[in-house]
Amino acid sequence: MDINKEILNLDWDREPYGLYEPIEYTLAAGGKRVRPQLAMIASQLFGGKDEEVLPAALALEVFHNFTLLHDDVMDKADVRRGRPTVHVKWNENTAILSGDQMLIEAYKLLSGVPADKLPRVLQLFNQMATEICEGQQYDVDFESQEHVTIDEYLKMIRLKTSVLLANALQTGAYIAGADEQAQEALYQFGINIGLAFQIQDDILDVWSDPKTFGKAVGGDISCNKKTFVYLEAKKRGGEEAKRLEEWYSQVLEDNTEKIAVVKEIFEQLGVRDVCEQVVEDYTRKAMRILDTLPQNTATEQLRQLANKLNTRKD
């Protein structure tokens, strides 16, 4: 089953166009479709039927895009996947309302899972959606919070990024009839690849090739984002940590020098290796969880996906 095709086949040609066009626009922008893929593979791992998990897989992709849409409004981000964001192409009110409708559409899709599975699927989805909003709130809180610990940061990215991957896997497995232990194992696999994914993201912001990186290198540094890399560097204390804090207290028009200096401090402190080790640790932990599950084509696909996500360069 071609999940991307299924997403693009969703019909948004409905009135009022002002509500549905931005939804079509958002979903047509592409992306890796990781979450619906995870749900489908998790179901296949336990011999589930594709058509039974498909509604949940589509719901997760629509939900994910809803979070991006509203996050972009809150972050005042102008570009997403190489195209103007909805609040730029239309306006902020459109982004709010069409986003709301996307969340409702996610629930509509979710309702298409087998009726006997619906109560539990809905409960897991609600729990996940709540955690995503909580993660977003912590992310906002951290902007104005002077001290953020590594543990607090890990909790935030677990909520903001990992639980959606974990939920996709657990839901796919549950619908396919996997037992609770297997569901929980897949959930934890999702949590770990999610953490690795986000920390890899933080690393790429500093050390990726501007030619192949999808966005501006140093974007997190420019906006003083307390990433894993930054927190690891600050943890080391001393003169460098102080200089880092100083640079992070400034909002500049031109960030060229700031990015160069901060990158140099990171390198002097040797945090790159530490961060890469953490990504590897979470990935290895995820892989070990997979070893406890049935071994078939689906398990292999999950291994490949985890590897691809965390060795990516963009």
Distance between CA atoms of residues 4 and 17, nearest Å: 23
Q: Which residues contact 255 (CB under 8 A, 6 or more apart)?
A: 218, 221, 222
> DSSP letter at 162?
I
Report phi then psi at 37, rounded to 5. Answer: -60, -45
- For a second copy, which is the closer residue by CB, 69 or 231? 69
What x-and-dash track marks residues 139-158 binding a second copy by CB under 8 A?
-xx-----------------
Q: Is 115 in the site for a second copy (CB under 8 A)?
A: yes
Residue 100 is a binding residue for a second copy (CB under 8 A): yes
Q: Is 96 in the site for a second copy (CB under 8 A)?
A: yes
Q: Report DSSP state, residue 214.
A: S
Q: Is 88 in the site for a second copy (CB under 8 A)?
A: no
Which of 99/218 has CB closer to a second copy? 99
Contact region for a second copy (CB under 8 A) — 126-134, 187-195, 252-260, 263-271? 126-134
CB of 20 to a second copy, least distance (A): 9
CA dist 153 to 243, 286, 289, 306, 312, Å?
21, 20, 23, 21, 22
Span near a second copy by CB under 8 A; candidates 96-104, 228-236, 258-266, 300-308: 96-104
CA distance 220 to 306: 24
In the complex, minimum distance from the CB of residue 254 to a second copy, in angstroms, rounded to a whole number: 26
Locate 239 and state its tokens.
């003169």
Residue in 29, 88, 97, 274 binding a second copy, rule: CB under 8 A: 97
Calculate Rg over the CA atoms of the chain: 20
Q: Which positions from 15 through 74 interact with a second copy, judged by CB under 8 A?
A: 15-16, 18-19, 70, 73-74
**Pair 3, 40: CB distance under 8 Å:** yes
Given the complex with a second copy, which of 138 and 266 has the nearer CB atom? 138
Stretch that binds a second copy, among 42-50, 106-114, 170-178, 216-224 (CB under 8 A): 106-114
Rule CB under 8 A: say whether 10 interacts with a second copy.
no
User: How far is 208 from 203, CA to CA, in rounded Å?
Assistant: 8
Helix (H/G/I), strand (E/B), else coil: 261: helix
Q: How many residues at the interface with a second copy, by CB under 8 A?
A: 34
- Beta strand ranges found along 53-94 (DSSP E): 79-80, 83-84
Q: Which two tokens stand for residue 246?
A: 């100083």
Per the structure block, which two tokens stand in for 170? 């657990």
Is 97 or 241 the residue whose CB approaches a second copy more closely? 97
Binding site for a second copy (CB under 8 A): 15-16, 18-19, 70, 73-74, 93, 96-97, 99-101, 103-105, 107-108, 111, 115, 118-119, 122-123, 126, 129-130, 133-134, 136-138, 140-141
